[in-house]
Structure 1
Amino acid sequence: MTETQNQPKALIAMSGGVDSSVAAWLMQQAGCECTGVTMRLTRNETLGQSGFHTCCSERDIEDAAEVAFAMDIPYEVVDFTADFREKIIEKFIRVYEAGGTPNPCIDCNKYMKFDHLLRWADAHGIDYVVTGHYARVEQDEATGRWLLKKGLDEGKDQSYVLYNLTQEQLARVRLPLGGLHKTEVREIAEKRHFINARKHDSQDICFVPDRDYAKFMEDFTGKHYPPGDFLDENGSRVGTHQGAVRYTIGQRKGLGLAMGAPVYVCAKDMQANTVTVGPEDALFDRVVYADEVNWISVPGLTEPLRVTARTRYHQVEQPATVFPAEGGFRLEFDQPQRAPTPGQAVVLYQGDVVLGGGTITSVER
């Protein structure tokens, strides 16, 4: 058998950024036979945007192709625009229209990156899928379960957005940046003279790079989201809003209300098209319910467990107790938390290990 036939084969998800480029180089250095793939998820001309600070834009495809050429590895662009439209963009709109706050990057990891790329790898006889996420995958020798752990660079840790990975997926996913800091990654890229060594990280949702979600939704659907009433905590009208989908729980800026003291969005009634505002202390809730749960370090929850939890991407973890509940779990924080919001992910940790997570359905004080 030749040396090439002995080499493990790795499919590198190349976004055009520095992280996935260095991930590709590290896997090549580890002796893998690498193939680079960029998923085309949107078309800039369709969305009417240049995509400068997003992922998966035309410029990103060019950068990924150039790095693959420099590394002398095969490279392909695969078109998943139709699936992305259905599973990510249309769900994003549905959640906003229902009054929630969606998390399309988590959905993209679940439905697009790992699901589609693993199937593509299967079809091409490739062993592993590799991404540039800052997290770690290890196998628990005692239980045999695959574990998802935080990246060592706390400021870049992306375990929160990967909590949906299944045991089958984790067994075949490799995250070579999990033990590195971002500064080390950029140093590697500069030494290799990668074109994207100093490229800025993507900041926005890839299909809404100007952050005007409501305008995007109106352009995409052809709908108009009409003005309605701002209400105070007593239900009295205090002003006119510009469409309930334009506001998120906890928002303070851009309300256009003069009420003598700062007020925040505390609730939305999408049927009545009302937005309720109140003082900041009205935003705090202690109990969170979640469904669409994925367990990682355990096969399921049979009894209460002490955990730490995040209800937002870069939130500092907060101590809590998780309880089994029908269809998911109930999480009780030791201290009330600011604006946990339906539609967002709640991810549970024990130390640096991800226990699991789910989608917030409701909250209680």
Structure 2
Amino acid sequence: MQNSLDLPRRPEDTRVVVAMSGGVDSSVVAALMKQQGYDVVGVTLQLYDHGAAVSRAKSCCAGQDIHDARRAAEKIGIPHYVLDYESRFKEAVMDRFADSYIAGETPIPCVSCNQTVKFQDLLKTAKDLGADILATGHYVRSAASGNKRVMFRPTDLDRDQSYFLFATTQEQLDFLRFPLGGMPKSKVRELAHDFGLSIADKPDSQDICFVPNGDYASVIRKLRPNAAEPGDIVHVDGRVLGRHNGIIHYTIGQRRGIGIATGDPIYVVRLDADAKRVVVGPREALATRKIFLREVNWIGDTPLDEGTELDLFAKVRSTRPPAPAILRVQDGVTSVELVTGEDGVAPGQACVFFESDTEEARVYGGGWIARAERHGSWKLDEKTTLAASA
């Protein structure tokens, strides 16, 4: 007989460690597990210096959030621990974030955090605490399939977090549970009120937790003081249009704040970190049909072997729906052809694989975008700027 977590034992004999961020979602997960009779332990991670510089209502894991998690655990009636992961978080997430920006990429630190601190380090800590599973408040679903678990998009697609969990390995997925994946956010807030949790109406986290006021550049300068080196702003046709104060101030696809007036709309189409150049051009220069991936994580049923060619659906931005794509493995390189194309694909972002574009589609994993191949006549010339062929 299986319990509600698909484990063959009574709830009271099943230890569940809940990752509690101090928000509504993870607090409701802890309360649900306790209500269902499980042996529940709450764990909150202190991830960074939670002083005035970064303690804000819409960030996660700041000082107030730790306080809120502790209060929720007390209300639920479960033991609660705060673990100091600051040095690990800085090494695995913040430093990687800074180095990626300096390299001309657009990183996603929330994926790195899930990939390392939460689903490696915290998962190991949960096992050290005798846990049978680690439960989180992420909006994805998982279900048993034979002797393993598979991941799906959640019922509430407005809250879909599968894009940020693409790096979850099969071993991690088998140990994780996502109790909120089958319900809408409105129901979660309703449950928070029913459980008498003081954070029932707390706003959702919207910003990267260690980036005050969304100012990425100031954080990067603090972590890497020599990061903001000036250079040229170059048009795709080779013209030097002006100067910039560091490529860390720009992202692929950016239109506003470039600081150049040409009479026609221009976009950032490439960041040349080696030459310290920001390459700009018309919107059509952003069109991308093919991307190349690194650090691919595959949680499909059959392995990705040399010569694989697979029709699936892919997301290259968290806010876009999955779109038709062809996944190929050739000469040890994994590439994805975006059948309908995409604008502004940036190295450092993620490409996430899905079985279909339907609600609650299965998630097959994904990879980090190493480079994008522009579509049509826009190609790289020998000077590493973009030029339109005649």
Same fold (TM over 0.5): yes
Aligned to 2:122: 117
Where do 4+ consecutive residues of structure 1 move more than 3 Å?
3-6, 325-328
- TM-score, normalising length: structure 1: 0.95
Superposition pairs of residues 68-217 of structure 1, within 5 angstroms: 68-141=73-146, 144-217=147-220
Distance in 2, matches of 1:158 and 1:290, equals: 20
Q: Give the residue type in structure 1 aligned to 2:163.
A: Y
Aligned to 1:223: 226
Check the 8 A contact 1:4/1:33 in 2, yes or no: no
Aligned to 2:22: 16
Shift of 1:327: 4.5
Aligned to 2:379: none
Q: 1:246 aligns with which of 246, 249, 255?
A: 249
**Is 1:320–2:308 an aligned residue pair?**
no
Aligned to 2:3: none
CA-to-partner distance for each residue in 1:235-257, whole Å, 9 max, x for gaps?
Answer: 11112222111100000011121
Aligned to 1:53: 58
Shift of 1:30: 2.3
Q: Give the residue type in structure 1 aligned to 2:56.
A: G
- TM-score, normalising length: structure 2: 0.89
Superposition pairs of residues 259-298 of structure 1, within 5 angstroms: 259-298=262-301
Aligned to 2:372: 363
Check the 8 A contact 2:314/2:352 in 1, yes or no: yes
Aligned to 1:337: 342
Q: Give the residue type in structure 2 aligned to 1:310.
A: K
Q: Give the residue type in structure 1 aligned to 2:319.
A: H
Aligned to 1:66: 71
Shift of 1:326: 4.2
Q: 1:35 aligns with which of 41, 49, 63?
A: 41
Check the 8 A contact 1:322/1:330 in 2, yes or no: yes
Structure 1 residues 95 and 327, CA gap change in structure 2 (3 angstroms):
farther
Distance in 1, matches of 2:313 and 2:245, equals: 37
CA RMSD of aligned residues (A): 1.6
Q: Give the residue type in structure 2 aligned to 1:19.
A: D
Check the 8 A contact 1:292/1:359 in 2, yes or no: yes
**Is 1:25–2:31 an aligned residue pair?**
yes
Check the 8 A contact 2:314/2:322 in 1, yes or no: yes
Check the 8 A contact 1:309/1:320 in 2, yes or no: yes
Check the 8 A contact 1:44/1:51 in 2, yes or no: no
Distance in 2, matches of 1:325 and 1:8, equals: 45
Check the 8 A contact 1:145/1:297 in 2, yes or no: no
Percent identity of equivalent pairs: 40
Q: 1:310 aligns with which of 312, 315, 326?
A: 315
CA-to-partner distance for each residue in 1:18-59, whole Å, 9 max, x for gaps?
Answer: 0001111111222211000101110123x8332331110000
Q: Give the residue type in structure 1 aligned to 2:367.
A: G
Shift of 1:12: 0.5
Check the 8 A contact 1:146/1:296 in 2, yes or no: no
Q: Give the residue type in structure 2 aligned to 1:258.
A: A
- Structure 2 unaligned residues grouped into runs of 5+: 1-8, 376-390
CA-to-partner distance for each residue in 1:132-181, whole Å, 9 max, x for gaps?
Answer: 0000111223xx33211101101001111111111111111110000000
Q: Give the residue type in structure 2 aligned to 1:8.
A: T
SS of the residue aligned with 1:78?
Answer: strand
